[in-house]
Structure 1
Amino acid sequence: MTKIALSGAAGRIGKTICATLIGRNDFEILFGVDSRGGEDFPFPVHKSFDDCPAGADVVIDFSVPEALDGLLSYCLKNKCGAVIATTGHTAEQLAAIKKASESVPVFMASNMSLGVNLLAALAKDAAKFLGSAYDVEIVETHHNRKLDSPSGTALTLAAAINDARGGVLEPVYGRHAAKHRREPNEIGIHAVRGGTVVGKHDIFFLGAGEVIRLSHESESKEVFAMGALRAAEFIAGKEKGFYDMTSILGDFHAVTAVECERDVALVTLPSTGADEFLALLSELKRLRVNLDMISRNYLGSGSAAVSFTLSGSDLARAEKAIAACPGAVTVRGACKLTAEGAGMQHKSGVAADVLSLLAGTGACIYAVTTSETKISCCIDSASLATAEKALKSYYGIK
């Protein structure tokens, strides 16, 4: 059981965390901290960290930046982890958080929602793809009680986009009284406050004759509570280090899909020079043969071992060209099994897990290729059903 100290216990997210934990036995809120105090809680609520007892495994913080000094002092004194979801910190405070992570585990995110962090990844990819031909504007909308503006999430999204654009973008906060044309290197960040909106972020990529909008809206504060609890579970027991949402994406989303392709042929060329390989690729292109799982391993002296897969239907057209390559070996009637997940790039050991699972089913693994988000294995057809079932069961895929 993870013992929690809840900073900002009397706040809206603090109360949501309390409600989320009703009936659960994997977390216990040891005490709360809130400058307003609190009477209607099933645990003591202190007005300052100076009054708090030791014993917490992790402090979850949804409070205000002014509470940071006491929080870090408590964590450092008691060797306690911190999940910091508060936004609006100064540069000096951010430096203090990073310094504390050299002694205790610190998890920090401007938004604990998985969806928002996916939005950031999508925005980064879009910015790379679209480039400077598209202007970028961010509009964030929150309830009328939110204190900081723009939101920490909007700043995080802007930073991700700017990183994808090579760091050339300059933030512009609103355009009140502006009397000049928009500069190409601007990224506009705008805030809207009103009503009870939990949180909404829109990213606009505006090009010539078209607008692309990426959007995320939180419908309940429970998504932030669940994200914070995941983070607390993740850092509990760790010695030190700085972590963010990408740190846990791998744990929860390492593999999210398993795909199968039947009737695949694997071709291996034991020793092939670069010119011969390029000539083969050119001929297969002329024959309209699609290749997959291409691997080339240098053997020295200008030669390399080459392997690739192709569909059984393409093999007939390719056989003559393949046969012209000395020593070519073809495995027919194989299958391709692919494990895919965006979190794979944030978690080590996924390939080891996948290959161990396949080996446990008795599958004959002919070839393996990987990318940041995919592990593809060419295996014998007799083992495909069992191997697919094993992977889906292990990763909870229906």
Structure 2
Amino acid sequence: MKIGLIGFGKTGKSVASILLENKKFSLEWVLRQSNVLEHRSVPEFFGIQSEEPGLIYSSTHTSVEELLDKHPVDVIIDFSSSKGIYTYGETAANYKVKIISAISHYKEKELKLLKKLADKTTVFWSPNITLGVNFLLFAAKFLKKIAPSVDIEVNEEHFKAKEGTSGTAVKIAEALDVDKENINVVRAGGIVGKHEVIFGFPFQTVRLIHESISREAFGNGVIFVAENIKEKEKGLYNFEDILTPYFTV
């Protein structure tokens, strides 16, 4: 499966390294805003040998249309910013390239655009694309269904510079009918990401915890999603759509 990657920040780099390790995928190119590293290859950047081209381009000099004409891909993976979708979205949809977006926060305008793009191609969006945190969400929803009156607290911890409440925590809160204002937020040091759901029963407590040890976890999530949407028809999908079949007995 040929991959184009949008964004090459800390998480984008980690995802690229995981893609290079997986022989089922070929990282064709990376598109980023910065001119730094332009025309260098990702394998070269990591100092590893690879037959994958993985050339780095800057959006100031190269358009997505040019890239798709010269270096076609099956899937575009977005780890840039909430505005990145405007750089590649319409073009990818017109070329019938599948889209995997791992952007934490989208406003209503961007969400409407995702739905519009899904009329032409397969679009997947998750504010947290790690597999483990979505397992946590599934388990939490099952517990809430069993005990709808249980007391629930949602905690999230991230690195000092992360702004706002994490999109994952908001999604968990919405799924469990917890007021978003009641999410407990911690920002300290270099914490990659931790989410906890506390269920307060009489005389006992259940805690579901997911902790990202490194950003490579996002790469593993991307691979899982890409493999599970490759046969999907056009439409807008989320983790629940691709995980539900695994829970069918």
TM-score (norm 2): 0.83
* Counterpart among 203, 213, 221 of residue 197 in structure 2: 203
Question: How much does 1:48 deviate?
Answer: 5.3
Runs of 4+ in 1 over 6 A off after TM superposition: none
The answer to whether structure 1 residue 192 and structure 2 residue 186 are counterparts is yes
Q: 1:95: Cα distance to partner?
A: 1.7
Does the 8 Å contact 1:49/1:74 carry over to 2? Answer: no
| Contact 1:38–1:45 (Cα < 8 Å) also in 2 | no
Equivalent of 2:172 in 157, 160, 165: 157
Could you tell me how far 1:61 is from its partner in structure 2?
A: 0.7
Q: Is contact 2:20-2:27 (8 Å) kept?
A: no
Alignment map for 1:1-398 (pairs within 5 Å): 2-8=1-7, 10-39=8-37, 40-42=40-42, 43-47=55-59, 51-52=63-64, 53-54=67-68, 55-132=72-149, 134-147=150-163, 149-162=164-177, 169=178, 171-173=179-181, 188-236=182-230, 238-249=232-243, 343-345=246-248, 373=249
Cα 1:101–1:49 change in 2 (3 A) is farther
Change in 2 beyond 3 A, CA 1:145/1:225: farther
Which structure has more strand as a fraction of its residues? Answer: 1
* Partner Cα distance (2:58, 2:187) in 1: 31
Q: Report the CA distance between 1:214 and its aligned residue.
A: 1.6
Q: Secondary structure at the match of 1:66?
A: coil
> Which structure 1 segments of 5+ residues have no match?
163-168, 174-187, 255-342, 346-372, 374-398
Q: Equivalents in 1 of 2:31, 2:89: separation in Å?
A: 13
Pairwise CA RMSD: 2.2
The one of the two structures with greater contact order (alpha-carbon pairs below 8 A, sep at least 6) is 2
Asked if structure 1 preserves the Cα contact closer than 8 Å seen for 2:78 and 2:84, the reply is no
Task: From the superposition, tell whether residues 220 and 195 of structure 1 become closer, same or farther in structure 2 (CA, over 3 Å).
Answer: same
- What SS does the aligned partner of 1:22 have? helix
Q: Identify the range of structure 1 (101-110 vs 50-59) with the bigger mean alpha-carbon deviation.
A: 50-59
Give the fraction of aligned pairs with identical amino acids, expressed as a percent. Answer: 31
Identify unmatched segments of 5+ residues in structure 2. 43-54
Pairs aligned (count): 230
Deviations 1:229-260 (A, max 9, x none): 2222333364411222233336xxx6xxxxxx
Distance 1:29 1:37, change over 3 A: farther
TM-score by length of 1: 0.54
Distance 1:144-1:48 versus aligned 2 partners, 3 A rule: farther
* Distance across 2 between alignment mates of 1:245 and 1:46: 30
